[in-house]
Amino acid sequence: MKTLEDYGIKVPAILMPNKKVDLKKWAVIACDQYTQDRDYWKKVTDFVGDEPSTLKITLPEVYLNDGDKAQRIEKINRTMQEYLSNGVFADPVNNMIYIERTTGYGRVRKGLVTAIDLESYDWKPEEKAQIRATEATILERIPPRVEIRKNAPIELPHIMLLVNDSAKKLVEATGNAAKKDAPLYQTELMCDSGKISGWKVSDELAKTDVLKELERIEKEQTQDDGSVFLFAVGDGNHSLATAKTIWNNLKAAGAPSDSPARYALVEIVNIYDEGLTFEPIHRVLFNVDAQKLLSEISAKLGGNVCECSNDKELEKAVGSSKADFGFVYEKDGKKTFALLKTPITDLAVSHLQPALDEFLKANGNSKEDIDYIHGSDEVFRLGGKDGAVSILLPPIAKDTFFATIAKSGTLPRKSFSMGEASEKRFYMEARQL
């Protein structure tokens, strides 16, 4: 008979802060959000103050290129150790945790927090692992994250795995059973980001119902080549790739097979969850000629350009299309909204990103001259600011998502996001490494 471990799942020992800690100040949004918005992170810093918080044991990527990164990482590791030593964490919870997150938009997303075996995951599509990356991994983004994680005594995940479960039983039915008991925690989230509650999943529930549903999904997700595609990485691809890199290094150095570094804490979410919206990840380019960019991208994609009168008109046009793009930039001293209509019939970003890469390379730009942003508000805020050009992408469809990944491998980097920026996973649960 199979066990949870056969499906790359391990019931974790989860660390939660003690009852005296203010969870609203403890829980902070994923570090890869608001990467162009220092004001957001200043508000978070001011709100947290001197209280224990995951802000103090993570490194928001808005600061990643600052000159004091090494000092920040050293302080993070020191603070982690202090939290472990000074009783900030309560006794470990040796259970999976079912969570319900109500976002600031009123959507309710359900998740199952557990640990996964990194031996069951690979970001390389040719490996056909049980847990697969959905997007191309940017290898240059791994070393900075390795620096942060390699000496960290605990991990706090913003990794979210997708499961293809139209029957809604692995997460949702498990949650209904877990909710018969009182919540382990519940709190509002800062910055008008909604609220979250969590319930322990009993050992019996994990070893019976969860295991049974994994067996069912295994049968449904067995591919023609015999491989099993259980989970797709929805958020936190580079964080999971970092954990895998560190585990591979430790394993090569002789680490025991049951090392805590072999596992990573994640949240499993059903792709069919009504509270889970797929949002495109938009682009913003710096130090480029806006007119030249629009002209060359239009030519490469075989599209036609027309101007919209305002941001609402542009957002509506792009949002109702499958492969049209909105460009926001400055022309003749005013913010301009241009719609690029294309004849593309498959995933739009798979055509746009190579064209952008080619443009940047041909015009002598560096990789730092493009960023990936969440939410249309950021597109319109940044477009035209200091010469930046932002690009609004059309919606991403869910229905053939797993089949596309299984057939074609990973999507272009930063192809989609699960929800708006404020809906991303907040750091809450931790695990000792």
CB-count exposure of residue 357 (10 Å: 0-12, 13-18, 19+): middle
Do residue 256 and residue 383 come from a single domain?
Answer: no
User: Does 151 reside within a domain?
Assistant: yes
Does 300 lie in the same domain as 248? Answer: no
Q: With beta carbons less than 8 A apart as the criterion, state whether 379 and 373 touch.
A: yes
Residue 321 lies in a domain: yes
User: Residue 208: what pLDDT?
Assistant: 95
Instruction: Indicate whether 253 and 117 sit together in one domain.
Output: yes
Residue 121 lies in a domain: yes
User: Does residue 240 sit in the same domain as residue 337?
Assistant: no
pLDDT value, residue 51: 98
| DSSP-assigned letter for residue 210 | I
Residue 403's pLDDT is 80
On whether both 185 and 198 belong to a single domain, the answer is yes
Same domain, residue pair 76 and 34: yes
Q: Is residue 401 part of a domain?
A: no
Please indicate, yes or no, if residue 159 is contained in any of the structural domains: yes
Q: Same domain for 134 and 154?
A: yes
Please state the pTM of the whole predicted model: 0.81
Question: Is there a domain that residue 271 lies in?
Answer: yes
DSSP letters along 136-179, please?
---GGGHHHHHHHHTT-SEE----EEEE--TT--TTHHHHHHHT
Place of tokens 């029957």: 167
Is residue 404 included in any domain, yes or no? no
Let me know whether 90 and 198 are in one domain.
Answer: yes
Query: HSE (CB half, 13 Å, CA atoms) of 47?
Result: 20
Rounded Cα distance between 149 and 315, Å, is 39
Counted domains in the chain: 2
305 and 367 in a single domain? The answer is yes
pLDDT of residue 424: 93
Same-domain status, 306 and 161: no
Cα 324 from Cα 392, distance rounded (Å): 9
Quick check: is 76 in a domain?
A: yes
The residue segments making up the domain with residue 382 are 282-392
pLDDT at residue 402 in the model: 86
Q: Are residues 271 and 291 in the same domain?
A: no
Whether residues 305 and 221 share a domain: the answer is: no
Question: How confident is the prediction along the chain (433 residues), in pLDDT tens digits per residue?
Answer: 799 999 999 999 999 999 999 999 999 999 999 998 999 999 999 999 999 999 999 999 999 888 898 999 999 999 999 999 999 999 999 999 999 999 999 999 999 999 999 999 999 888 899 999 988 777 777 888 888 898 999 999 899 999 999 999 999 999 999 999 999 999 999 999 999 999 999 999 999 999 999 999 999 999 989 999 999 999 998 899 999 999 999 999 999 999 999 999 999 999 999 999 888 899 999 999 999 999 999 999 999 999 999 999 999 999 999 899 999 999 999 999 999 999 998 778 888 999 999 999 999 998 889 999 988 999 999 999 988 999 999 988 677 788 878 877 888 878 887 888 899 999 999 999 9
User: What tokens does 129 get?
Assistant: 């692992």
* Closest by Cα among 135, 409, 123 to 242: 123
